[in-house]
Every structure is written in structure tokens, then in C-alpha cells.
Amino acid sequence: MLFPRVYAIGAIDFLFANAASWAQESVDPLLVTMCLPDDCRVPVSQLSTQETHPFRFGFNIVDRNHPRWREYRSVIDRYTDARDCLLPEERTNENPDLLAIDWRRIGPRAGAEICLLRILSTLNVQDAVQNWLDFHDFDVSGPRPFITRSYFPESEQPSMWLSATWDEEMLHRQRPSVLYELFGLSLTTGYGVNIYFMEDGSVYNVKTVGGSTLN
């Protein structure tokens, strides 16, 4: 689990009031214009990094003092900004197309979490994030209110979250595997991404989730 236990206590009024406020505050005409449904080019100067939008495990930034540092260090160093996550032709582009993610290169777990954070925190607005997820055929649910235990400072908590999922067929269409292509066999039943947002609509963190036929 990325965060402590989530309590499903949120009232309907809270959901709609916060979702409406979140959507309104997150609109940035410049980024929405740059990230259209089939083209999402962003200047290199606007790409997020570990310094501007650090990856977190739970509520804590993953750095040398974090207990999961050894697990994530190599991928944090490998994917310094969104260009490192893209197909080769976009990695040296001064206005890279953030739709051109290299799914085979980044893998399904740690690399995907870092890269999706790099990309989505660069977009950092609801409309642009939604366009990006739609382009990659994710089934999106949310946003929903995120409610946590009260002992965490409010400024350090996400306010909203949404889930984006692929079923088994879509997973193997986007991320082909030899086992699936040759024999039609799969060790996974689906794949998903949870995206967490602060109250102002900025992207807070990303966590991948997925089922396995081995469970």
C-alpha cells in the first residue's frame, strides 16, 4: 500500500464540492493547449524532476534516508526527467511529446511509478492528465476524496485521487510479452495506476497496482 489505510467515510457533498473545486483550480490554459488528445509537447524547461516533484513512498520523499531507497535509487537516477521515459526519437527533443512513453523500457512497477510521476507532474493539471490517460486507453475512475488518519499534517496529504486501469487484453496490447504472444498465457489479470493530487490539483504521487494469476 502506498498510503496508510484509507477510510471510506467521505460524504457525497464532500466529494462533489472538492471535485468541482479541484477541477476549477487545476485548469492551466497553456498546458491544456500543449497537451491535446493526440499531441502533448512540452518544453524541456517545464519538465519536472526529483527536485521539483519528488517521488514518495507513503508520505515520505524517497531519498538516502528512506528505508526503500535501495529499491528505488536506480530508477530515480535513471529517469531524471520525462525525456528518459520516452521512445528514443523523443529523448533529445527540446519539445518532447509526453504521449510517447516507452512502456517496454520502463517496466511495470518502480520504473513506471517514477516515469508516470515525471510525466503527469509535468502536466500537473486535470485536463492534461485526463487527455494523457485517454490517449493510452486507460479506464479512468474518479477523482475521489482521499481521507487519511488525522495525525498527518494536512499540508502533507493528498486531497483527491483517481484510478486508471487496463484489463488483461489492453495490458498486453500496450506491453506485449513473449509468453502472451506465443501461447496466449498471462501471469497478470490487469494493471492500474493510482494518481494522487493535492488540494490545488497538482500531482502528488503515483502508485501502480495489478493483479496476478499466481495470487
Predicted TM-score (pTM) of the model is 0.74
Closest CA to 208 of 200, 195, 199, 197: 195
pLDDT one digit per residue (tens) for the chain, 215 residues? 333 333 333 332 333 333 333 333 333 444 444 567 778 889 999 999 999 999 998 778 999 999 999 999 999 999 999 999 999 999 999 999 999 999 989 988 899 999 999 999 999 887 788 889 999 989 998 788 887 655 555 546 777 889 898 866 656 565 655 444 544 545 456 788 999 988 888 898 999 887 433 23
Strand partners, 41: 97
Rounded (to 5) percent helix, strand, coil in the chain: 40, 20, 40
d(CA 95, CA 156) in angstroms, rounded, equals 32
